[in-house]
Amino acid sequence: MGTDLLMVGQAVAADLDRAGQRITRAALQAGVRARGHTCSTGRAQALLTAVRDLERTA
C-alpha cells in the first residue's frame, strides 16, 4: 500500500470519527473512492488494519 493511500485513509478515518461514524472497511473504501482514488476490497481491508494500528500507537 502506498503512502498516498495511507494518508487519504487517515483523512477519511478522521472525517468518519468527527462525524461519529464507525471506521469500517466499507466506509474507508467509500471515502477513498469519493476522493478520486481506486480502492479494492483487499486494499481497503489493509488500509483499515493500517489505520487502526496507527491509532493504537498514537
Q: Which tens digits make up the pLDDT trace of 19-30?
A: 999 999 999 999
Residues constituting the chain: 58
Cβ contact 26:45 at 8 Å? no
DSSP letter for each residue of 3-15: HHHHHHHHHHHHH
Q: How far is CA 21 from CA 32, 40, 41, in A?
A: 15, 21, 19
List of the chain residues with pLDDT < 50: none
Residue 2 has a pLDDT of: 82
